Amino acid sequence: MDWIQTVVLALIQGLTEFLPVSSSAHLILPSQLLGWQDQGLAFDVGVHLGTLSAVMFYFRQDVSNMLLAFFASFKGDKSVDGRIAWFVIFATLPALLFGFLLNDIVDHYGRSILVIAATTLIFGALLWWADVSRREIMPLEEIRLRDAILIGLAQAVALIPGTSRSGITITAALLLGFTRQAAARFSFLLSIPVIMAAGSYKGLELAQTATGTQWEMVMGGVLVSALSALACIHFFLKLLDRIGMLPFVIYRFCLGLFLLAVYFFVPVNA
């Protein structure tokens, strides 16, 4: 890797991890269109660490309150923060279970441009429908176990590349009647254990690999992905109520059609 590849790939990871546009749909483009080689496990672990650092820093007060309330719940103390903490755990379990069972299948069959183009378009349309038909009656503090499980099951669908983890969880939350801010906030809180799990899995793979690593590129990826993810979360939440989901839906449609054009008309090694 060179520094241009490092910055571009880290920016893609940092920006698309939290926007409802699918990081996997974007990460295939440099390799397919520019012929860039795989960035390697160490870089993957690094950018996951960067995005994890960003979301934990941005929601540091929420995370602190939830952790304290979670441990207090074992003493019988009940609180909204404790309930949300438990529901984040419950909502994470489907993704971990299906990820463990289906990871190899998804890697083998799900990473073609055609699959990613289709899911980008289909789940983009579903996001648009959820946004225009939303009821917006519930803040996050009113979340129930049923809501958390349904959002968690939706998150498991994001194992299919092109779906977008943030997009499908926000879609599910909007369909359940949460406000846009509540839907986005729960989606971002859900990302913490998922990114931890993904980073840990890749870290174990890295520990078993004896290949050389460009650590200066990895550290650069950590920094760029963290800063871009932090800016992304801030501006997304700040502008969400004003712009809604339509700009992201339009972008997904354009991206999906572009990927279809690449698949059918550009000679690449898929």
Q: Report pLDDT for 146.
A: 96
Task: Give, in order, the Cα–Cα distances in Å from 238 to each of 56, 70, 98.
Answer: 17, 28, 33
**Cα(183)–Cα(136) distance, integer angstroms:** 10
Q: Report pLDDT for 2.
A: 78
**Which amino acid would we find at residue 4?**
I
Q: Tell me how crowded residue 79 is: count the other CB atoms within 10 A of its CB.
A: 15
**pTM for the full predicted model:** 0.91
Rounded to the nearest 10 degrees, the angle between the axes of helix 145-157 and helix 165-175 is 150
Mind listing the pLDDT tens digit of every residue in the chain (270 residues)? 678 888 988 999 899 989 999 887 787 777 666 777 666 667 778 888 999 999 999 999 999 999 999 999 999 999 999 999 999 999 999 999 988 888 778 777 777 888 899 999 999 999 999 999 988 789 999 999 999 999 999 999 998 888 999 999 999 999 999 999 999 999 999 999 999 988 887 777 777 765 666 778 889 999 999 999 999 999 999 999 999 999 999 999 999 999 899 888 876 554
Alpha helices in 133-245 (DSSP H): 145-157, 165-175, 180-207, 215-243
**Cα(229)–Cα(118) distance, integer angstroms:** 26
